[in-house]
Structure 1
Amino acid sequence: MESQYEPWLVMLSIAIAVFASFVAFNLTSRVAAARTRRIAACWLAGSAVCMGTGIWAMHFIGMLALTLAIPVAYGIGMTVLSLLIAIGTSGYSLHILNRASSRAPQLIVAGAVMAGGIVAMHYVGMEALTFNPAVRYDPWLVLASILIAAAASTGALWINRRVRSDRLAASLPLKLLGALIMGLSISGMHYTGMAAAHIPAGAVCITDNGVFNAWWLAGAVGGVAFLLLATSFHLSMVDSYLAARSGQHNLELEKMNAELERNTADLMQANSQLRQEIDERIRSEQKVAYLAYHDTLTSLPNRRMLSSHLLHAVNQAQRQGKTLALLLIDLDRFKTVNDTMGHEAGDQLLLEVATRIRHCLRESDIIARLGGDEFVVMLEDVDTPAAIAVVAEKILAVARWPFVISEQEFYVTASIGISLFPQDGQNEQSLLRCADIAMYKAKDDGKNAFRFFCNELNEHAIEKLTLETYLRTAIERQEISMHYQPKVGLQSGRIVGVEALMRWTHPKLGIVPPSRFIPLAEETRIIRQLGRWAIEESCRQAVAWREQGLGDLNIAVNLSVSQFGDEGLHRDIAAILQSTGMDPTRLELEITESMFMDRFEESLRTIQRLKEAGVRIAVDDFGTGFSSLSTLKNLPIDTLKIDGAFVRGLPADAKDAGITRAIVAMGKTLNVTVVAEAVETEAQRDFLHAASCDQVQGYYYSKPVTAARLSEMLAAPSFA
């Protein structure tokens, strides 16, 4: 049967197919962007309806575009069934596409389903037309239509898959290309399928209850399809716009959240650093505050904290009418331990002493360290001096216990001065001063003791302080002078040497005896200045006598404990010898046994250094100490001086006589010069001469005299 197509309906059908594909693909892109599964399902259903309706509309408009010589009618049932097939297969294929990856098998399955739906929809729709005789189909064209539908559908779905990827999500040209291919595939399949259908000549349409108004049907289908597609496209665009705005807002919100998180992290880090700095500062301030009120070595309260406690205790004792005691403790011989064992050993000793004293006290008592080897104990609410004395005795007892440091055992003692409130003072300064005076009284009385303060001690302390003040300027005021006592050789009867002795004549105090100012000079370390001056003055005088033709005399000068312990003594002696021009062999330095016995190894090094300078060494007051022949033989000494305590009993006292002979014999054995001191009688001189003593000195010959008087004596022939 002859037929022809209405061109504008053909173009309308193709346009609907392309537009429907574009809308469907655009809607499927909303599936991936949906926030929930329910919204995704709604967008997928909309895509299926749009795709299925577009395919179906294209088919019927394409069929309506075919003009036949006979009137035709479309069966309602098959027409609706074809619509449902188009919508169902579109939905299923889009569902597969939405769940599938970009791998080929899933795309082929989705394309096959879509092609099958298009083919099924077409041929079911053709069944809506019933002809007599029936329509015949060209199998090759049918196959061609199927292949066109399959290839075009798979390609369009592949493009749609690419469009939905993140990288190409905004690619409008690809969307249009996919829609064009899908629309053309639908159109190509439809018109190929239509070409495959052959309506026999003279056939008539026998469809029951069909729709006959083709123009009305075309307009209705096209209008509804276009309205549906346009509405769906508008909704998708609105949703896309809203999603883009939402995405932009979410992105901005994420940026703001990220910035807020960074700021929060920075703030937390800054807060953490600030907290650490605050904690560190608090710890530092606490440490500074602790160090300000505690001794760094023993962790005992220091003088500042003692002042605070003492002020409070004085106020409380004053209100309650009670007695307060202050004990000032000073270690005896601590300097010896510190110098011998080193400062580390001295620190360990102080720590042990602090621990021992603490155990002697009550919990309410205060112990503080003032510095060096001085400690202060404050006893509150004490009843009687006897109770204070008990505490002092305990402290003295624990101080006498042996100390073991670096596996070496040694002993120290303590001297304690005690002052009482309110009898001895009303404040910290007066109480500490009184306790200090009492402590020095304990030291003067032999150490290892305690003394209570009394007014007599205060007067003594004031006198002592005044004497110290005068003594410090005595050399500058030329109040100190040197006197010389001759040493006489027993064989020749002539003066062979002198002992230089200091004398102090003060304008107000008059003659101050050495027994009074020498110990004070030792205690205040003024002795080093006095001793150096005495050696230098004696050397100058010896050189003057030599230049006057009065002979080369040996000058003996006493060394104090402080001088002998000075590391720079040998350098001072060498400088004096060089500046005065004194012959080193004519200078004799006198030391006592106790000076080198306390620290024998150090003393031996000091003596050896002095011997290297060329001077002579004499042991003064020999016999009163504890040295032995084995000790003396290791010392490079030149002279032994017999102490006057043994000479005064000669010759009547047999013990003194025996000791004197033994000392002389020891001297001969050691090949040193033996000198006897304090010779006052002819009998003593004769005994010493008979005992083969080398030299003597004493009032029998002369008391210490001035340099001018000794010059006159040197001019005399002899003492024989």
Structure 2
Amino acid sequence: MTEYDLPLVISSFLVAVLAAYAALYFGARLAGVAGGERRLWLISGALLMGTGVWTMHFVGMRAMPMDVPMSFDTLMTVVSWFAAVLASGVALHIIGRQRLGFALFTGATLAMAGGIVVMHYLGMYAMRMSAPPEFTTGLLVLSIAIAVIASGSALALCRKLQGVEGSSAMAVQLVAALAMAAAICGMHYTGMMAMTFPEGAVPASDNGLRGDWMGIPLAVFCIALLAVALVVTMRDVRHRRELAERKVKENRRVAELAFVDPVTGLPNRSAIEQRLLDILARTDARKNPFALIYLDIANYRELSANMGDESLNSVVNEISQSLRDQLSEDVFLARYSGSSFFALVPEHESAHHAFMYKRLRQIDERIGTAAMPVTWRAGQSAYPVTGNSTRKLIRAAMVPRDLEEIGRFAEMRSDPELVLPGQNLSS
């Protein structure tokens, strides 16, 4: 190995690492796309992996010491490149399927390994020397085995990366790319030792490609190509992350719209019902009593008849804000309908709610509009005294009571007429 051109050996390994890294990413993307986008990622991945392995091969060949200038047959060189690209495309196509059994995985591995072996030995034959090459059987078999193992490992890593997201995926890809590059280089240099030319053999005079172009210039070109591909992958990662973040924000916004009243910004009917369901579903629900206070604008129709929609919404918004100011901080206030509100009061018999109840009993004087007075109806229910279901508690709270009764729960009891069909009150 000390006789090889070290800069070219290093260049060949660098090309292999970049090719493996880009190909792993492009291959992993295949599982999440379809149609034209999938074809784009497949073709790109095949070109990157095939070209990278092919470039690594020829740069590695240029690192081999020879007494005569190296040259290559143009057609055989192009065919060797096509074999690498085609094999990579077939392998990535199979590995990018949603479901993959052992038989398909084996087929993809053999297809890719076969393409690498064909590319390698056809590329060496492309030197077209004056004497036929000589083979070392053991090293030949070993190089093929390495190609199969390297291909299987690469495809397995591609498959594994399909389920990895974010920065961790990039780290896994880098480790995988280093391992793949080592395997690819190992196969190449083993294959070069397996196929040698007799001493004194010279390249054919009609070889169309000068060896000078197949070393550092080819490596620089391929590295530049792979660098562009990596920039594209980074932008794709950033774009996918931005799309995911926008999707999360949009889902949150839609969820909020479903549980928020658009006029007042308060939780809506669905929100208060969901809150009740969540509370009642707790195993220790009975240890955490609460009250529902129903507040309804009795003359809402009269208000709405004398105002346009915009003015009415402004008044309702003003009323809701004033109502919020009357309540304790830990009270959950929701707009239940156009004219009504529900206040969910935790630990409703706690002394710290006393001033709130006093203010609510004076709600007719405290909350109104400049246009006309607001008349309030009110009711209340308490869990678990007046019911143990969302519907029962809401219905009980909507029974009108004198405003002076708000916040007084000592005499409260369940109303049999509000028991729902099939409901066991004692349960």
1:3 CA displacement: 11
2:35 to 23, 34, 37: 37
Distance in 2 (CA, whole Å) between partners of 1:124 and 1:95 is 24
Distance in 2 (CA, whole Å) between partners of 1:264 and 1:153 is 58
Q: Deviations over 1:681-707 (max 9, x none)?
A: xxxxxxxxxxxxxxxxxxxxxxxxxxx
CA RMSD across the alignment: 2.9
What letter corresponds to residue 218 of structure 1 in structure 2?
G
What does residue 221 of structure 1 align with?
218
What does 1:290-329 correspond to in 2, within 5 Å?
Answer: none
Q: Is the 8 A contact 1:89 1:117 kept in 2?
A: yes
Distance in 2 (CA, whole Å) between partners of 1:264 and 1:118 is 64
Distance in 1 (CA, whole Å) between partners of 2:98 and 2:135 is 36
Distance in 2 (CA, whole Å) between partners of 1:271 and 1:196 is 77
What letter corresponds to residue 78 of structure 1 in structure 2?
M
What does 1:303-702 correspond to in 2, within 5 Å?
Answer: none
What does residue 98 of structure 1 align with?
96
1:185 CA displacement: 1.8
Q: Is 1:72–2:50 an aligned residue pair?
A: no
Higher relative contact order (CA 8 A, sep 6+): 2
What letter corresponds to residue 22 of structure 2 in structure 1?
V
What SS is found at the alignment partner of 1:49? helix
Q: How high is the TM-score relative to the length of structure 2?
A: 0.59
Q: Which runs of 5+ in 2 are unaligned?
A: 274-295, 302-427
What letter corresponds to residue 204 of structure 1 in structure 2?
V
What does residue 143 of structure 1 align with?
141
Q: How many residues align?
A: 274
What does residue 284 of structure 2 align with?
none
What does residue 108 of structure 1 align with?
106
1:222 CA displacement: 0.9
Q: Is the 8 A contact 1:4 1:68 kept in 2?
A: no
What SS is found at the alignment partner of 1:68? coil
What SS is found at the alignment partner of 2:260? helix
What does residue 86 of structure 2 align with?
88
What letter corresponds to residue 50 of structure 1 in structure 2?
L
Q: Is the 8 A contact 1:97 1:161 kept in 2?
A: yes
What letter corresponds to residue 44 of structure 1 in structure 2?
L
Larger radius of gyration between Structure 1 and Structure 2: 1
1:138 CA displacement: 1.6
What SS is found at the alignment partner of 2:65? strand
Q: Is the 8 A contact 1:93 1:110 kept in 2?
A: yes
What does residue 131 of structure 2 align with?
133
Residues 3 and 125 of structure 1, relative CA distance in 2, 3 Å threshold: farther
What SS is found at the alignment partner of 2:48? helix
What does residue 254 of structure 1 align with?
251
Distance in 2 (CA, whole Å) between partners of 1:167 and 1:73 is 45
Residues 104 and 234 of structure 1, relative CA distance in 2, 3 Å threshold: same
What SS is found at the alignment partner of 1:66? coil
What does residue 198 of structure 2 align with?
200
1:159 to 139, 157, 160: 157
1:6 CA displacement: 0.5
1:15 CA displacement: 1.2
Residues 258 and 74 of structure 1, relative CA distance in 2, 3 Å threshold: same
What does residue 238 of structure 1 align with?
235
Residues 119 and 207 of structure 1, relative CA distance in 2, 3 Å threshold: farther
Q: Deviations over 1:394-423 (max 9, x none)?
A: xxxxxxxxxxxxxxxxxxxxxxxxxxxxxx
1:139 CA displacement: 2.1
Distance in 2 (CA, whole Å) between partners of 1:11 and 1:55 is 14
Distance in 1 (CA, whole Å) between partners of 2:136 and 2:225 is 35
Q: How high is the TM-score relative to the length of structure 1?
A: 0.36
What letter corresponds to residue 23 of structure 1 in structure 2?
A
Give the structure with the higher percent strand: 1
What letter corresponds to residue 93 of structure 1 in structure 2?
A
Residues 109 and 168 of structure 1, relative CA distance in 2, 3 Å threshold: farther
1:11 CA displacement: 1.2
What does residue 118 of structure 2 align with?
120
What does residue 54 of structure 2 align with?
56
Distance in 2 (CA, whole Å) between partners of 1:105 and 1:278 is 72
1:201 CA displacement: 2.0
Distance in 2 (CA, whole Å) between partners of 1:86 and 1:190 is 13
